[in-house]
Structure 1
């Protein structure tokens, strides 16, 4: 069937709609108008005309998120890997003694080192390695804290859990929040958000929690995701009531359970997540990636300075 918009030669042969007088039997697979060899563009099936190729390019989804990140083909992948890492550490703790596992003392955030008893517990009045070796050499050993150089605890503590309810709640929250944020900002930025939020929560613990206490759990990172989602929802003009309600409920739980819940990690993670998300969401379009990288490096530098100052004060 002929296309009314396609001119034809006197013999009834269709001619290219872009080049009058050029006879052709090839039609665009999209609009079905006749096209000559100069106008043929390879398509998934057959050929398309330049106009349809241009229109298709406009309609094709960009490979970048609204904030410059690479769009994830599977937005849940990073969250799945983070959950798997947390579960792996928890299983290792279960396999090595659960509550008495040495992994807890090694991975959890402890500002000052402790003299741990081989029978469980620790010696509260021994505050340095030399005294531990002298007074508890037969049934005790020294476990380094952050001030002793165990800086890995700022991150490893966010992957460490003991009670099943603790890891279950945190991983459920990560599963709900993580894919949404990765879809919005991209994989690399989401991972940076998660880890820096954990670091921010740990930094506030280092400053405000007990010097001899031990803090663990992914709650700081999870609260960072809540804060980030709030900032991004506000940026796009979305309804923030649901996320505010969720933050409010968790704030109440934190206050009520402050005897065994680290409000320091929750508050630090929340504020850190909001600051990180603000850098990502409000970076100008021009030089966006460079501004975001500089902003995140700046936040990391501020946290590093705070950690150094606290370490100097504890020395």
Structure 2
């Protein structure tokens, strides 16, 4: 008469109704095949695997954020691209024209005009970084396309290198850095719009990351040099906004990647807060000493706009 040997086997620690002859090599408790995971030596139960993962320090990227696969970690860059495209669509709908969107109410109230900022409209420092002229160069929304392409190409690498939150901080500080430079040195009656200041900040940021990782900086520096040359050579370009964003983006990224590991988050927070305070001081000082105040009440913007 055959003997049912399963009756003599212990039940699985997690599933007592399942007899098993297998055991976890770590805790030696009985475990059924569904509760075992392959380890470097033998098999461990799911409880021991979970406990072991708690003691393993997660991998960190250059900025101190948890390392993620590049394909899945991109969140901020697509969102920023989407916001810029959406804002452009709204201005085009309001103006009834894709090439004269600067006539829209949203554009009029959001573009950076130092004189208007001096009158108290400080939101323009930020909103101008999400507006793009539809008639730049006479070729339709080329301004938007170029900036979004640059944001995608440069931003995706920097977001992976820094992490989502740190990347967003660098982007916004660079945007405000470009606006602060325009406030400090620009034409009080000029109109400036575009994400270029923030994008140049990403140029500076990726250069800092390359130096920190001790990689070959020649490709990044060459690309940066070409873009600075174009900013100088082409008409209608806000060189001040580009350089301001470049400097602040590089400084903010340096604060991220050169922070001491023992006080990483605190150092990064204090350094970026100090940069923000400096930018606020520059803007307030420039506005108070400008002596020119203007109110924009018409969709007819100043003809000498810059991007």
Q: Which TM class, normalised by the smaller chain length?
A: 0.7 to 0.9
Please give the secondary structure, in 2, of the residue aligned with 1:48: strand
Q: For the Cα contact (< 8 Å) 1:194–1:221, is it kept in 2?
A: yes
CA distance in 2, matches of 1:188, 1:153: 23
Please give the secondary structure, in 2, of the residue aligned with 1:299: helix
Runs of 4+ in 1 over 6 A off after TM superposition: 58-61
Query: How much is the aligned-residue C-alpha RMSD, in angstroms?
Result: 3.0
1:308 partnered with 2:284: yes
Partner of 1:9: none
CA distance in 2, matches of 1:35, 1:293: 43
CA distance in 2, matches of 1:307, 1:250: 26
Aligned-residue offset at 1:25 = 3.8
CA distance in 2, matches of 1:157, 1:44: 56
Structure having the higher Rg = 1
Aligned-residue offset at 1:103 = 2.0
Please give the secondary structure, in 2, of the residue aligned with 1:96: helix
Structure 2 residue runs without a partner (length 5+): 1-19, 96-100, 135-140, 292-307
- Number of positions where the alignment pairs a residue of Structure 1 with one of Structure 2: 254
Partner of 1:83: 81
Partner of 1:270: 246
* TM-superposition CA deviations, 1:183-203 (whole Å, max 9, x none): 111110000010000000110
TM-score (structure 2 length as normaliser): 0.75
1:37 partnered with 2:29: yes
Q: For the Cα contact (< 8 Å) 1:203–1:306, is it kept in 2?
A: yes
Q: For the Cα contact (< 8 Å) 1:72–1:187, is it kept in 2?
A: no
CA distance in 1, matches of 2:94, 2:37: 59
Partner of 1:105: 108
Please give the secondary structure, in 1, of the residue aligned with 2:271: helix
* TM-superposition CA deviations, 1:117-147 (whole Å, max 9, x none): xxxxxxxxxxxxxxxxxxxxxxxxxxxx100
Partner of 1:68: 64
1:248 partnered with 2:225: yes
1:292 partnered with 2:268: yes
Aligned-residue offset at 1:209 = 1.4
Output aligned runs, 1:1-315, within 5 Å: 25-28=21-24, 36-37=28-29, 45=37, 48=44, 57=53, 62=58, 64-71=60-67, 74-97=72-95, 98-112=101-115, 145-163=116-134, 164-257=141-234, 259-315=235-291
CA distance in 2, matches of 1:211, 1:250: 25
Distance 1:35 1:195, change over 3 A: closer
Distance 1:53 1:45, change over 3 A: closer
CA distance in 2, matches of 1:301, 1:93: 32
Partner of 1:7: none
Q: For the Cα contact (< 8 Å) 1:170–1:218, is it kept in 2?
A: yes
CA distance in 1, matches of 2:26, 2:73: 42
Q: For the Cα contact (< 8 Å) 2:23–2:31, is it kept in 1?
A: no
CA distance in 2, matches of 1:67, 1:43: 37
Q: For the Cα contact (< 8 Å) 2:35–2:45, is it kept in 1?
A: no
Q: For the Cα contact (< 8 Å) 2:199–2:245, is it kept in 1?
A: yes
Structure 1 residue runs without a partner (length 5+): 1-23, 113-144
